[in-house]
Structure 1
């Protein structure tokens, strides 16, 4: 436990963070609804407590020292964490929260339709969802778990297989006069690529025993934006079958070739191995396993 003498008051930290961010004590005082002298006193108290000069004083002008600017990075992060925790407490006074990092398209189409069942079964748990497109360090984030696609290449996590993915090339109806008779004919059209799946097209061609290496084209960070680009005749998109089918039924896209084929990789629910499961996540992971058993 950190000695209390090293734990500054929130008021002092708010004053320092505001001066650093806004560039002046006058602006900080206005934001905090304090006087200029009150901000100055808070900073002096903080300096006395830490035994370090944090502010260069030029008359009434206050400037954070280089050491204070570095310290403020940690202070700002702590204040943001405290603010988020307070909002979660306000949203669910009874307690119990679950923080999930999701892949936006799969989260919206697979998890979201099922999530109401979980909230009805566990009304005391507030589920918070945030988008993460790539693996991250759980030690640096406040997430309990994450949805991950690919191989078992995320270090330090436990894996629960959730779903396979099938992909199909689609494009705007006006982009092709007649359906191609061979997969290689798609190479004559612009191919749209997802940043997180750099070899998706090569793998798709390989599934048809057609070699295609070093393919290039427009890059997108999410399936939803790539699908919209395909709708607007910008190229052929390799989309998950569940997303492609929606656009096909609306008449905005058509299959460019063949039927959906399995993508390399799987969707997993992952969580940090070294961290004990919180009770809220215990309930969620058990619920996920039940959902998977019923779907099988």
Structure 2
């Protein structure tokens, strides 16, 4: 194995070759762009060959890089499949649940508690990934994600539709604004979203028919739970997905800053890889969470 390069360099190279972008690879791998660039340089030094040609802000694979990308992708897929086979031996009583940070922090805990009471012999592991596409099939058994379009090779069961409201602390705003445009007079909190799959303030206002705005939030965070904590601390108005914020509204920790909601057509789903075999623990999870969705779908 003396000729085997560091695995993390191969993962960074495969993502960079697939996206043809260090920046997009970094977003997928939850690394900085400079970290990905260093890993590619380390791999090129190890190989003694250039893998990318870089000129005028654009990049493309060299002839060697093109072939190497195919080989590395094949090797990583084989590793993924081998891992899935090994992990399948524990499938009856173990379950890895993947979800976004917002779902993990503010929607999942109460439901997972009910699930584990119903299934005391099932061991549950939660993996938090805001970007579903950064997951590989070996990493999770079942996911809880919001999609505008269901990704390829993914099975789904619908939970509930997306609905997004402007929310804030009752200390920040005494009563809802009468006109959505009036929200621009207040401090807004935004969610950084490199994949541009979540609703931004610009798109929220556009759905409301308020056109021609380009909103620069006063405060931004790259995790939705942080956005909510800032809103509850009275730091401004945030966009809140009703499934996640409903319990804070009921508790009086948040109020709607505007009476109207918006949607980009997204839906929350239970999801799992199509190429995965039957998993008894996953099926119990699907049945339970489908029942939860029927009984507690949020008011919109």
TM-score when normalising by structure 1 = 0.59
Question: Which of 107, 113, 118 pairs up with 1:116?
Answer: 113
Q: Could you tell me whether the CA contact under 8 Å between 2:106 and 2:245 is conserved in 1? A: no
| Alignment length (residue pairs) | 221
Question: What residue in structure 2 maps to residue 223 of structure 1?
Answer: 224
Question: What residue in structure 2 maps to residue 200 of structure 1?
Answer: 200
Offset at 1:171? 2.8
Question: What residue in structure 1 maps to residue 142 of structure 2?
Answer: 145
1:279 matched to 2:287? no
Offset at 1:249? 5.7
Offset at 1:242? 5.2
In structure 2, do the counterparts of structure 1 residues 244 and 281 end up closer, same or farther at CA, with 3 Å as the change threshold?
closer
Partner SS for 2:126: strand
In structure 2, do the counterparts of structure 1 residues 272 and 198 end up closer, same or farther at CA, with 3 Å as the change threshold?
closer
Question: What residue in structure 1 maps to residue 214 of structure 2?
Answer: 214
For structure 1, the 5+ residue unaligned runs are 1-5, 7-16, 18-64, 68-73
Question: What residue in structure 1 maps to residue 270 of structure 2?
Answer: 269
Offset at 1:201? 2.2
Q: Could you tell me whether the CA contact under 8 Å between 1:135 and 1:154 is conserved in 2? A: no
In structure 2, do the counterparts of structure 1 residues 130 and 174 end up closer, same or farther at CA, with 3 Å as the change threshold?
same
Larger radius of gyration: 1
For structure 2, the 5+ residue unaligned runs are 7-44, 48-74
In structure 2, do the counterparts of structure 1 residues 170 and 123 end up closer, same or farther at CA, with 3 Å as the change threshold?
closer
Question: What residue in structure 2 maps to residue 238 of structure 1?
Answer: 239
Partner SS for 1:136: helix
Question: What residue in structure 2 maps to residue 184 of structure 1?
Answer: 181
Quick one: distance in 1 between partners of 2:251 and 2:223?
20
Partner SS for 2:215: coil
Offset at 1:182? 1.2
Q: Please give the root-mean-square deviation of Cα atoms over the aligned residues, in Å.
A: 4.0
Quick one: distance in 1 between partners of 2:188 and 2:99?
26
Partner SS for 1:276: coil
Partner SS for 2:96: strand
TM-score when normalising by structure 2 = 0.58
Q: Deviations over 1:62-107 (max 9, x none)?
A: xxx958xxxxxx9xxx9xx99xx99xx9xx9x96200111223223
Question: What residue in structure 2 maps to residue 105 of structure 1?
Answer: 102
Question: What residue in structure 2 maps to residue 171 of structure 1?
Answer: 168
